Structure formats: C-alpha cells, structure tokens
Amino acid sequence: MSVVLEDRPIEQVREEVIDNLIYNYSHGVISAEAFERRLDKAMSTQVHAEIVALTADLTMQADEKYTAQKDASLNINYGQKSAGDKLDIKTVLGNSSRTGKWAVPKEINLLNVLGSTTLDFSDAVFEHQEVTVNVNCILGSEKILIPEGVNVICEAFCILGNVENKAPSIAPKQAPTIKIKGKLWLGSIDVEIKRTIKEKFVSFANELKSLFDDGSYGKYK
C-alpha cells in the first residue's frame, strides 16, 4: 500500500489498514491469530509507519463490494420514520425489554415500579439523531445497551440509587445521541456498550471468512 505519511490523517490510514487486514483474513491469507494480533496493534498505535507496516506483506486490497458489506454490517442503522414519535413502556413487578431490530422513536417513556426494563439499541434502527429516554423508576432497574459510536448523556435525578454510564458522550457529532432524563428512587440505571468496535471487526471478519475461505491461500504466522 503506497502511502505518503505526512499527507494522510492517521485515522484514515488506520481505517484502510484495518479494512485490508479484515479482507486478507477473510480470504485466508493470514491466520486468526495473526489477524487479531495485527488488529490490536492497528487500533492502539499512534505512529503512521507502524500502522502501514501491518499490511506491508499483504497484496490483497479491500474493494467496493467489501466497503458496501462493511457499511451494512458495522454502521449505525438509520431508517425512515415508522415508529412514531413516542413509546411508553410500563413495568410493574415484572420485566420488559426492547431488543433486536426495532425502530427507535424520538421519545421513550419508562415507568418502572419494582421491575426490570432493558432497552437494547445494538441492532435498533434510529429514526432521529437525538432520542430522549424519560425514566420514572421506583425500586427498579433500567439497563440500556448501546453499540459503540452512540453518544449517551445521563441527566437523571437519583435519590438513594445508582446511575452508571459506561458509554460517555465521545462518539462523532453525526452519531445518534441518547439523553436519559427523569427520576430514580432506590433504583439503578446501567448504560453499557454491548459490543466493542474490536468485537464488531472480528465478528464481521469471521462472517466474511465463512463466505470466502476456500483454503487456497497460505498463512502468514
């Protein structure tokens, strides 16, 4: 890969190298161990030359079809309006959840009394860039699972409870933002990333490998 280091933003170089690592691994050119070792280095190093060196011995280049597959698999899902502007979820002495590929409205209202509510945004389809989750929780628990790359801002008022946000608002500006508001009495709100970006890369690479692995390429150790 020909790269003029001083003219290329490091994140652009990093993305291209990771794409080529995934592409070569999925075609059987490098082993799973080599792929994960190089992927770790590509994601952590801040030196252009070290990133570029990770694919210097690989000849296969990611193509347009790969890019389309990656965008469909890894990007945040956006869709047309179909969910309405509001969703009310009431939980009393029980469990409620939203998971899978569900359409996210602009506003979600959670009433939880001595129950457990889970909102899983991992595969959800966002219809608005900003989503508000209003919490009214008494002696209950709220779990919010998100994909990496979504902003989460927690402004809930807590009385003798616990709010833990493991997904601070550091995603790109164009990413969806989930604002958590409301009140919490003797309960908990737990915001977690369900899958890290590395886990997504590895999963996507293995999906491609299941399609392309024919054993015709040697493996670098």
pLDDT per residue as tens digits for the range 126-184: 888 899 999 999 999 999 999 877 889 999 999 988 888 887 555 566 788 999 999 99
* Contacts for 132 with CB less than 8 Å, ≥ 6 apart: 106, 107, 108, 178, 179, 181
Q: Residue 2: what pLDDT?
A: 43
Q: Residue 31: what pLDDT?
A: 92
Mean pLDDT of 71-91: 77
Q: How confident is the model at residue 98 (pLDDT cuts 50, 70, 90)?
A: very high
Do the bridges between strand 95-98 and strand 116-120 make them parallel or antiparallel, or are there none, so unpaired? parallel
Contact (CB, 8 A) for 166 and 193 = yes
For residues 74 and 113, which has the higher predicted lDDT (pLDDT)?
113
Q: 16-41: per-residue pLDDT in tens?
A: 999 999 999 998 899 999 999 999 99
Q: Residue 81: what pLDDT?
A: 58
3-state helix, strand, coil in the chain (%, to 5): 30, 35, 40
Q: 173-215: per-residue pLDDT in tens?
A: 678 899 999 999 999 999 998 877 888 889 889 888 887 655 4
Q: How confident is the model at residue 97 (pLDDT cuts 50, 70, 90)?
A: very high
Q: What is the pTM of this model?
A: 0.66
